[in-house]
Structure 1
Amino acid sequence: MGEPDLRSGRLADAAGVTVQTLRYYERRGLLPAPRRSPGGHRLYPAETVTLLRVVKAAQRLGFTLAEVADLLAAGRHETGLRTRARDKLAEVEQRLADLTVVRDTLRAAISAGCDDLVACAGSPRCPLPFAGPDHDPATV
C-alpha cells in the first residue's frame, strides 16, 4: 500500500506553501481536486508534494502560473518542457540584456555626476535616455 493521503495542512507544510496557496492552485487548475474524507477534509495523494515543489521551482525560474499550467499539461508531450524552456530562456536573456543597459546607464549617470535630474537632462554629457534618438529638444 502507498503512502497515506495528506490533509491540507500537512501537505502545505511538506511543500513549503500555505493552505491558501493550495486552494488557489486548485482554483487555477494546477492541482486536481482532492478527494474528501468522510468528515469533509481535503485528502491529497502524497505525490502532490512533488507537484507543488515543481510548481514553485518553475515559478522561481520565471514561469507565470499560467505558463506552469501549460508546462504541466505539456509534460505529457515529448517536447513540451524543452520548447517552453527555450522560450523562457530567450525571454530571460532579453531581460538580462535590458538590465545590462540599465546598469551601464546608471553607472554612467553616477560617473557624469548627475545629481539633479532636470540639470542633467539639459547637459550634453547626460547619459540618461530622456528622449528617443529622433528627439530634437529644439523642436519641443
Structure 2
Amino acid sequence: MTTLTIGALSTQTGVKIPTIRYYESIGLLPSPSRTGSNRRSFDEAAARRLRFIRHARELGFETEAIRQLLTLADDPAQPCHEADALARAHLADIDFKIARLQALQAEVRQMVEHCAQGQVRTCHVIEVLADHSHCLSDRH
C-alpha cells in the first residue's frame, strides 16, 4: 500500500497543507495514521476524498453539504435522491445569486452610464448612492 506525506498529498491533489489540516480538524478528512516519527501518512482513499472535497468546493458547495455528500458517497448502495436534492438546492441558490448579480449589474451600469463625468457635485454615481429613489429597483 502506497502512503503519502501531507506534502505529497498536497501536491497530488492541489490542496494546500493548511487546508488539508483544516479539513482533518473539522472531520471532512479522517485523521490519518501516523508514522513512528508522528508524521501523517495518507493513503489513496484520502487522496480521492480530498479531490472530491476540492471539486465540491470549486463548484461552490458549502461545508455542510460536502459533509452530507461524503456521507452518501461512503455508502454507494443507497439511493441517490439525497445527493440529487442537495445538488438541486445548490443550483437554486446559484440561480438566485446570478439573478441578484444581474440586477446589481443593471443598477451599476445605469448609474455609470448616466454619469456626465463632470464635478462630484453633479456626479450621478454619488447622487444614486445618496438617494435610493434614483435606482431601477427598490430591492438590492
Structure 1 length normalisation: TM-score?
A: 0.78
Q: What is the rounded CA distance, in whole Å, between the counterparts of 1:95 and 1:82 in structure 2?
A: 20
- Partner of 2:38, secondary structure, is coil
Q: What is the rounded CA distance, in whole Å, between the counterparts of 2:41 and 2:93 in structure 1?
A: 38
Q: Could you tell me the percent identity over the aligned residues?
A: 27
Residues 33-69 of structure 1 show CA distances to partners (whole Å, capped at 9, x for unaligned) of 1111222221111232221111111111111222211
- Partner of 2:41, secondary structure, is strand
Within a 5 Å distance, the mapping from 1:71-90 to structure 2 comes to: 71-75=69-73, 76=75, 77-78=78-79, 79-90=81-92
How far apart are residue 119 of structure 1 and its match? 3.4
Which position in structure 2 is the counterpart of 1:127?
Answer: 135
Q: Structure 1 counterpart of 2:96, which letter?
A: Q
Structure 1 contact 34–43 (Cα < 8 Å) conserved: yes
Q: What is the rounded CA distance, in whole Å, between the counterparts of 2:29 and 2:92 in structure 1?
A: 28
- Partner of 1:39, secondary structure, is coil
Structure 2 contact 6–42 (Cα < 8 Å) conserved: yes
Structure 1 stretches lacking a partner, 5+ long: 133-140
Q: Comparing 53-62 with 70-79, which one deviates more in the overlay?
A: 70-79
Q: CA RMSD in A?
A: 2.4
Structure 2 length normalisation: TM-score?
A: 0.78
Which position in structure 2 is the counterpart of 1:9?
Answer: 7
- Using a 3 Å threshold, how does the CA distance of structure 1 residues 119 and 90 change in structure 2: closer, same or farther? closer
Q: What is the rounded CA distance, in whole Å, between the counterparts of 1:97 and 1:67 in structure 2?
A: 22
Q: What is the rounded CA distance, in whole Å, between the counterparts of 1:110 and 1:8 in structure 2?
A: 49
Q: What is the rounded CA distance, in whole Å, between the counterparts of 1:12 and 1:123 in structure 2?
A: 48
Within a 5 Å distance, the mapping from 1:1-140 to structure 2 comes to: 3-75=1-73, 76=75, 77-78=78-79, 79-113=81-115, 115-117=123-125, 119-120=127-128, 121=130, 126-127=134-135
